[in-house]
């Protein structure tokens, strides 16, 4: 029975200029948006990703929408399977699997309706804009009708221990949602919507014996804990929040260098 390698993408395997902690002139561009490059990997990570995808057992697992995921450039053909929208969408050859979509909708029936969550985030966005005059309006977006997030502008990122973020977390927790602050994005995601559930479905369909995993944020915790082995980079939300687990390896690298280490470890696990 085969083993799968399921990994988060942003700030785990692919990196923005800010999160790369490297001169991007020395990196390989993997994403273009509105005429500019926005994501990179190291040259060695690029080669490792080629080998990972070639195994047929590599599964990208991301909070990105399918459209955002489609912007990622792979060394050859993309992986046949991918998990998007934090587990809400299972792509098979680039097409959303209808059976999984229906199952996810049923799982989320008990959570507060998304429009109410969207309104709460919009009010928070207005407060943040008022705190930083001239910073621009934080954009509130919904993803596939499943969860919502705020794109924060410069200077609008609330402190992790701040009272406003604590109040928001407590409110949304009562509604069945978790809060995650990743870079400039503040997410509100139903607790029933998980990356690990989607990966477990792929494991079941493939008849695999399990999976190894990697991730950097609180939205990756369920994935990391469900994996047979898992890695996290020396940066990101998990590190800032103080999260730790003895079964999850904290790699001794940060930025794009960490992505290289994680890609190597995932490949070694499959081999």
pLDDT of residue 213: 98
Pair (172, 208) in one structural domain: no
pLDDT of residue 266: 98
Pair (92, 201) in one structural domain: yes
DSSP element (H, E) containing 1? none
Pair (150, 225) in one structural domain: no
Pair (166, 141) in one structural domain: yes
Residue 138 contacts residue 190 (beta carbons within 8 Å): no
Pair (21, 45) in one structural domain: yes
Residue 151 contacts residue 215 (beta carbons within 8 Å): no
d(CA 150, CA 98): 28
d(CA 182, CA 184): 6
pLDDT of residue 129: 67
Residue 104 contacts residue 146 (beta carbons within 8 Å): yes
Neighbouring residues of 214: CB distance < 8 A, sequence distance ≥ 6:
6, 7, 8, 12, 13, 220, 224, 230, 231, 232, 233, 262, 265, 266
Regarding beta strands 89-92 and 36-41, do their DSSP bridges make them parallel or antiparallel, or are they unpaired? unpaired
Query: How many residues appear in the chain?
Result: 271
pLDDT of residue 165: 76
Last residue of a domain, one of 136, 164, 189: 189
Pair (123, 95) in one structural domain: no
Pair (68, 199) in one structural domain: yes
Domain range for 126: 114-189
Task: Give per-10-residue mean pLDDT for the chain (271 aa).
Answer: 94 96 96 97 98 98 97 97 98 98 93 89 77 64 91 68 76 92 86 97 97 96 98 95 95 98 98 89
pLDDT of residue 61: 98
d(CA 228, CA 247): 9
Pair (47, 127) in one structural domain: no
pLDDT of residue 139: 79
pLDDT of residue 167: 87
Residues forming beta bridges with residue 96, ordered by sequence position: 91
Report how many domains make up the chain. Answer: 2
By three-state DSSP, how is residue 29 classified?
strand
Pair (19, 91) in one structural domain: yes
Q: Which residue is it, tokens 């999260």?
A: 243
Q: Which two tokens stand for residue 200?
A: 């477990």
Pair (43, 64) in one structural domain: yes
Pair (100, 200) in one structural domain: yes
The domain that contains 224 carries what CATH number? 3.40.50.1000
């Amino acid at each position: 029975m085969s083993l799968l390698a399921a990994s988060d993408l942003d700030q785990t395997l692919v990196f923005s200029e800010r999160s790369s902690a490297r001169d991007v002139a020395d990196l390989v561009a993997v994403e273009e948006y509105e005429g500019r490059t926005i994501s990179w990997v190291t040259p060695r990570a690029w080669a490792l990703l080629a080998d990972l995808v070639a195994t047929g057992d590599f599964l990208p697992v991301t909070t990105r929408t399918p459209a955002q995921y489609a912007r990622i450039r792979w060394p050859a053909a993309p992986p046949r399977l991918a998990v998007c929208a934090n587990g809400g969408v299972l792509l098979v050859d680039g097409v959303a699997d209808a059976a999984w979509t229906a199952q996810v909708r049923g799982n989320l029936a008990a959570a507060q309706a998304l429009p109410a969550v969207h309104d709460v985030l919009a009010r928070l966005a207005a407060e943040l804009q008022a705190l930083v005059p001239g910073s621009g309006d934080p954009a509130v977006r919904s993803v596939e009708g499943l969860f919502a997030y705020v794109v924060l502008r410069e200077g609008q990122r609330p402190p992790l221990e701040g009272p406003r973020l604590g109040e928001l977390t407590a409110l949304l927790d009562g509604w069945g949602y978790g809060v995650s602050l990743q870079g400039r994005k503040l997410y509100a995601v139903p607790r029933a919507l998980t990356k690990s559930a989607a990966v477990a479905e792929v494991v079941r369909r493939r008849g695999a014996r399990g999976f190894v995993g990697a991730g950097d944020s609180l939205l990756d915790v369920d994935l990391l804990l469900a994996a047979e082995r898992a890695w996290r980079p020396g940066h990101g939300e998990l590190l800032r929040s103080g999260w730790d687990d003895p079964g999850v390896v904290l790699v001794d690298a940060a930025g794009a260098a960490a992505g290289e280490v994680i890609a190597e470890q995932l490949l070694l696990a499959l081999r």
